[in-house]
């Protein structure tokens, strides 16, 4: 028995019974049904596939008739493309009519025509390793384009000419980079050449679809491989140009670290610091990973050559945060994710200098407060940003950050660092000062917050005395005839 035949036999033993059950229903109704694409590929990889995808010669109405009464639920949101979705037990299932589809060169949407032939349907798929099917219910492997061999070789090829495949759906070029990250596979030379030649076509794809592929790539097992492929083919220039911009030109008189390679190393090191599901940063964590990749995005715009031969990147953290926010908005990320990544980029330089000068308790409090719920990610991003080959320097920075984390832990034992608030709330401020809601209350609140940061917790009486001392220096304190806060309150009660 050959290796491929043995792999087929082993895969058959791991097929879920629900697959065979659905296959029998379609065959009994006079139709063909095959498990297809990613689930088949994952069977041969020994991976669990979260979804089950099937293809059939039945049209959507006929598919609905077959699954009605068997599926726990079904929906037809993809009906115009031939896809019926359903749920059976814990399985999410999609059944799609055989396709013969083509994209208008200037359109983002496919023009779909239904077919009647399984092999013709497989030829329309993105890569040969995804163009395999198990015909049901006998589990006969249908592999007309050598997908299983490509899977063993770890190589991405297209069923037909790559130029035609990428013309049909340019997003497949992004998908190639995603598979390089997720599966650790290489790309056939003709595929990479077509990606390079046709990179401009990615611009017709919606930002949302590009974003989704980018997220899957970054969360993959080897995102460095996928990012390198995007950069080498020119796709990154069209999708996320801040990354290739990190490849700053070498200058023999102004030597400096390769920012692009440094960023990829930081990304890999950050991945190594992700935790298990019960830890503070369960992996794969997109926010941490993308912040690590983009943390130096502001360096190209801020690079300056100094007279003595050095290179500076002043304020690249602030500039980078703005660039990251702008790019993520263009890719239609949600606001919470944008804010989190941009905030990490903005804060990633905050730690430096701690080891040389040390920080007051006030500075430690501000560090924790500014990071907020991102603190654990910031810890990991800051540690990952050390890529120096100078072991003494690396050890010194690691020791300094160990010390900072211990300082944070010690303060957290004595104070509620995770939720620092002023010692008086807004209602107390208004009662003590005899003022109404408005900007003045906010100023007083901010003053007390700064006092809390600088000096730690205070009693209510201490906070009240500080507030009154601050109030005496404010121009508004003399309003209403120069009355004191107590007098203001008394007068208002009399009125």
CATH no. for residue 16?
Answer: 3.30.460.10
Give the three-state DSSP class for 428.
Answer: helix
Name the domain boundary from 117, 146, 175: 146
Count of Cβ atoms closer than 10 Å to residue 255 Cβ: 10
Contact 57, 97 (CB under 8 A): yes
Across 379-490, the runs of DSSP E, i.e. the strands, are none
Are residues 448 and 320 part of one domain? no
385 lies in which domain range?
248-418
- The CA distances from residue 369 to 374, 416, 419, 423, 474, in Å, are 10, 11, 8, 15, 27
Measured distance CA(468)–CA(461) in Å, rounded: 11
Look up the CATH number of the domain holding residue 188. Answer: 1.10.110.30
Name the domain boundary from 239, 273, 305: 239
Eight-class DSSP state of 87: E
pLDDT digits (tens, 9 = 90+) for 118-163: 999 999 999 999 999 999 999 999 999 999 999 999 999 999 999 9
Provide the number of structural domains found in the chain: 4
Instruction: Give me the pLDDT at residue 251, please.
Output: 47
Are residues 256 and 225 part of one domain? no
- The CA distances from residue 484 to 133, 340, 444, in Å, are 83, 44, 16
Instruction: Give me the pLDDT at residue 109, please.
Output: 62
Q: Is the pLDDT of residue 250 over 60?
A: no
Q: Confidence band (pLDDT; 50, 70, 90) for 249?
A: low
Q: Is the pLDDT of residue 355 over 80?
A: no
Instruction: Give me the pLDDT at residue 410, please.
Output: 82
Are residues 76 and 20 part of one domain? yes
Are residues 309 and 162 part of one domain? no
Residues forming beta bridges with residue 96, ordered by sequence position: 55, 83
Q: Identify the residue with better confidence: 358 or 429.
A: 429
Are residues 341 and 194 part of one domain? no
Eight-class DSSP state of 250: P
Name the domain boundary from 418, 435, 463: 418
Instruction: Give me the pLDDT at residue 356, please.
Output: 62
Measured distance CA(211)–CA(195) in Å, rounded: 18
Are residues 384 and 324 part of one domain? yes
Identify which of 298, 285, 284, 292 has the alpha carbon closest to the alpha carbon of residue 326: 298
Are residues 486 and 436 part of one domain? yes
Are residues 170 and 52 part of one domain? no
Are residues 400 and 429 part of one domain? no
- Tell me the mean pLDDT in the region 272-290: 96
Taking the C-alpha atoms of 358, 361, 367 and 371 in order, what is their torsion angle to the nearest 10 degrees?
150
Q: Confidence band (pLDDT; 50, 70, 90) for 368?
A: confident
Are residues 255 and 378 part of one domain? yes
Name the percent of the chain lying above pLDDT 90.
Answer: 58
Instruction: Give me the pLDDT at residue 272, please.
Output: 97
Are residues 412 and 316 part of one domain? yes
Contact 451, 466 (CB under 8 A): yes
Instruction: Give me the pLDDT at residue 254, please.
Output: 44
Are residues 28 and 110 part of one domain? yes
Q: Identify the residue with better confidence: 410 or 120.
A: 120
């Amino acid at each position: 028995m050959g290796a491929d035949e043995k792999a087929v036999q082993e895969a058959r033993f791991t097929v879920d019974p629900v697959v065979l059950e659905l296959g029998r229903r379609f065959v009994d109704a006079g139709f063909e049904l095959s498990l297809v694409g990613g689930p088949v590929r994952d069977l041969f990889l020994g991976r669990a596939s979260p979804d089950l995808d099937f293809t059939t010669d039945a049209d959507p109405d006929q598919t609905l008739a077959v699954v009605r009464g068997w599926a726990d639920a079904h929906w037809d949101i993809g009906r115009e493309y031939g896809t019926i979705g359903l749920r059976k037990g814990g399985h999410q299932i999609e059944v799609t009519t055989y396709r013969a589809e083509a994209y208008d060169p200037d359109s983002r949407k496919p023009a779909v025509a239904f077919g009647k032939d399984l092999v013709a349907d497989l030829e329309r798929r993105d890569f040969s390793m995804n163009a395999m099917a198990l015909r049901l219910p006998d589990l006969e492997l249908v592999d007309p384009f050598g997908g299983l061999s490509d899977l063993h070789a770890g190589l991405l090829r297209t069923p037909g000419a790559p130029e035609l495949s990428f013309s049909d759906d340019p997003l497949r070029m992004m998908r190639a980079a995603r598979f390089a990250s997720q599966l650790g596979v290489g790309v056939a030379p003709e595929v990479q050449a077509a990606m390079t030649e046709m990179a401009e076509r990615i611009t017709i794809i919606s930002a949302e679809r590009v974003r989704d592929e980018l997220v899957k790539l970054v969360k993959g097992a080897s995102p460095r491989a996928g990012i390198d492929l995007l950069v080498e083919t020119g796709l990154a220039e069209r999708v996320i140009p801040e990354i290739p911009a990190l490849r700053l030109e070498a200058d023999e008189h102004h030597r400096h670290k390769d920012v692009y390679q440094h960023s990829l190393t930081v990304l890999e090191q950050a991945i190594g610091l992700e935790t298990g599901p019960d830890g503070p940063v369960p992996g794969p964590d997109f926010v941490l990973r993308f912040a690590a990749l983009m943390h130096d995005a502001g360096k190209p715009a801020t690079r300056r050559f100094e007279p003595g031969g050095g290179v500076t990147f002043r304020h690249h953290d602030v500039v980078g945060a703005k660039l990251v926010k702008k790019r993520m908005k263009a890719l239609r990320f949600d606001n919470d994710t944008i804010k989190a990544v941009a905030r990490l980029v903005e804060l990633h330089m905050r730690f430096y200098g701690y080891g040389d000068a040390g920080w007051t308790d006030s500075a430690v409090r501000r560090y924790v407060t500014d990071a907020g719920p991102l603190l654990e990610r910031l810890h990991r991003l800051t540690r990952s940003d050390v890529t120096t080959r100078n072991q003494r320097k690396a050890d010194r920075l690691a020791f300094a950050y160990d010390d900072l984390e211990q300082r944070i832990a010690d303060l957290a034992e004595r104070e509620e660092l995770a939720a620092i608030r002023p010692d008086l709330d807004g209602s107390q401020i208004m009662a003590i000062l005899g003022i109404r809601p408005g900007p003045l209350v906010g100023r007083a609140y901010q003053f007390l917050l700064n006092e809390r940061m600088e000096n730690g917790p205070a009693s209510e009486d201490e906070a009240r005395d500080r507030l009154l001392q601050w109030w005496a220096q404010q121009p508004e304190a003399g309003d209403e005839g120069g009355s004191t806060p107590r007098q203001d309150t008394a007068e208002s009660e009399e009125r």
